[in-house]
A and B are shown apart, each in its own frame.
Chain A
């Protein structure tokens, strides 16, 4: 127990340190911009005193180091500053948009698993057989299509050519879903509003599918190769000799062990998935942090860019942490050591 706990604590600590370092990187990168956000906030008649006051309020006076310490101090108290463009606290903007993106990412992860687990098994079964070449080639083609192209293709096919799915926003305006958790599917369920639930889900399908389609081929590959590896393991051979059916062997032994490297991969690739939300949310007018980030960048809204970039990194770190913890829990070998 204590071993797990100390591992846990150490990981958490390193996560915090990483987050801190990342915030420094973000800070420095953004300070490279030759931009003066103050110019937007003040009227023509502003005196030097006015300018200095606003500068202090925004935390933009002093050296870069001083600015960073000011920002860090406030951030640790939960104050990520105010968006220059929206004139709202960054944390408030994040609070409304982050759940939307999380919901999107989780749904797309679910869809990706739904596609890739059968896909991986199928590809494994085709090993050495006729369809393998074709299937593999197909996989490489899928791998070559980034998520935003999928988004455009899906809109053209299911939004324009055969308009059966919505591709705008989170839910149809005729539904008023109160924001309890921020996750529209959950909130609709809590309200008992089944139609809103279905509608919200239908709005999630295309963007989540676009993300999932870019994610799945990678999972398929890893699953297939780890299945191939476990196929030659001793206990699998023994199970077969004992007369267990192929499916049984597959489900009970192989998948469980193939899950581990797949899980690791998902953790690694999650960063890419999150990055994909930027363009997907832009293309689908989805109100998540990806969309927020694009707007922040286009407007050179420094505090907002900083805040959102940090949240992105924290999310990735968190996911890695969870995946690592899950790995420890699931991996029999690590447990006994």
Chain B
């Protein structure tokens, strides 16, 4: 099986290059989130949904009136804030991962097809994309939730349906560039099937970009989910979500600010993790950017 050598060298500087500070910090943060999400049942001090009606709006344990049982205090229904933040991480990562995979698949497949084959298909889909992008994403996703109904699956679907254009555009333009490269022409001349060329030459070239976008998309998905839960269009009430914590906490802004601060910090931390990772990977994996030494 012959493959044609790619211009980008994959030497042993690979791993060293990956050690860009953004990648490390972002990666560590993301791994922390994953760990928190995975080990939630062991990390959370209480059942996140258990209502202790006699202990509502307790302050964090270091404040006057706080209890060690509820390290970050309780919300209006007497539920442990810390446990809810921890479990909220689960939903955030679940939605982020599923939505990122979905948008990646849809956007990449369409992008590759459009960029590789060009012609009518390309024009059609690109026209649809321009249409899609005229829709403010928040408005579009809310409308979709209204149309589809609430629930975690529909939230993921809504994110995929709204954001697939992100992958599509980037992948498509990258594919257009790649297909002009010498080795692709050579492959055509040698009579390799399109599928093989796509899988063996085109996709690997596009791969770094996809990884970068994937991480970025995860951050975006977390934000969209938070927005949707904030307006009550996302998950049922027994699912713990940071956006729901925000919506609940707004009423207690005066005497229970920690109810708001905990999910705010959670959301920022998670989105920051994926943004850092995405940024860092972009620099590391794209040789052109590395040369310039900065971000575009």
For B130, the closest partner residue in chain A by CB is A18
If A155-B253, A160-B257, A279-B227 touch, does A305 touch B143 (CB 8 Å cutoff)? yes
Number of A-B contacts (CB under 8 A): 127
* B257 and A156 form a contact (CB under 8 A): yes
**CA gap between A140 and B142 in the complex, in Å:** 27
Which B residues touch A18, using CB under 8 A? 130-131, 134
Interface string of B230-261 (1 = CB under 8 A from A): 11110000000000001000100110010011
Interface string of B120-147 (1 = CB under 8 A from A): 0000000000110111111100111011
If A146-B223, A149-B264, A275-B137 touch, does A228 touch B146 (CB 8 Å cutoff)? no
Which B residues touch A31, using CB under 8 A? 147
A294 lies within 8 A of chain B by Cβ: yes
A293 lies within 8 A of chain B by Cβ: yes
* A152 and B275 form a contact (CB under 8 A): no
* B143 and A153 form a contact (CB under 8 A): no
Shortest Cβ gap from A77 to chain B (Å):
23
B34 lies within 8 A of chain A by Cβ: no
Which A residues touch B135, using CB under 8 A? 22, 25, 271, 309, 312-313, 316
B94 lies within 8 A of chain A by Cβ: no
If A271-B134, A313-B134 touch, does A146 touch B144 (CB 8 Å cutoff)? no
**CA gap between A225 and B3 in the complex, in Å:** 36
If A30-B143, A297-B146, A309-B143 touch, does A271 touch B233 (CB 8 Å cutoff)? no
* B134 and A156 form a contact (CB under 8 A): no
Give the A interface residue count (CB, 8 A).
Answer: 54
For A124, the closest partner residue in chain B by CB is B294
Shortest Cβ gap from B126 to chain A (Å):
13
**CA gap between A137 and B253 in the complex, in Å:** 30
If A160-B253, A282-B231 touch, does A26 touch B143 (CB 8 Å cutoff)? yes
**CA gap between A297 and B219 in the complex, in Å:** 25
Which A residues touch B292, using CB under 8 A? 228
* A297 and B142 form a contact (CB under 8 A): yes
If A140-B22, A312-B139, A320-B134 touch, does A30 touch B147 (CB 8 Å cutoff)? yes
Partner of A297, one of B143, B260, B267: B143
* B138 and A279 form a contact (CB under 8 A): yes
Which B residues touch A275, using CB under 8 A? 136-139
Shortest Cβ gap from A257 to chain B (Å):
16
* B138 and A127 form a contact (CB under 8 A): no
B271 lies within 8 A of chain A by Cβ: yes
Shortest Cβ gap from B147 to chain A (Å):
4
**CA gap between A297 and B149 in the complex, in Å:** 12
If A149-B268, A225-B294, A309-B143 touch, does A140 touch B137 (CB 8 Å cutoff)? no
* A140 and B143 form a contact (CB under 8 A): no
Which A residues touch B276, using CB under 8 A? 137, 140
Which A residues touch B296, using CB under 8 A? 221-222, 225
* A22 and B131 form a contact (CB under 8 A): yes
* A144 and B142 form a contact (CB under 8 A): no
If A32-B147, A133-B21, A140-B276 touch, does A316 touch B231 (CB 8 Å cutoff)? no
Provide a sorted-by-A list of 8 A–B residue pairs whose CB atoms are within 8 angstroms. Answer: A133-B21, A141-B272, A144-B271, A149-B267, A156-B261, A276-B138, A297-B143, A312-B136
Listed from nearest, the 4 A-B pairs whose CB atoms lie closest are A275-B138, A275-B136, A32-B147, A144-B272
- 20 further A-B pairs in the complex, CB-CB below 8 A; given A18-B134, A148-B230, A278-B139: A25-B131, A26-B143, A30-B146, A140-B276, A140-B279, A144-B271, A144-B275, A146-B271, A149-B268, A152-B250, A156-B253, A275-B138, A275-B139, A276-B138, A279-B138, A279-B227, A294-B231, A297-B142, A297-B233, A313-B135
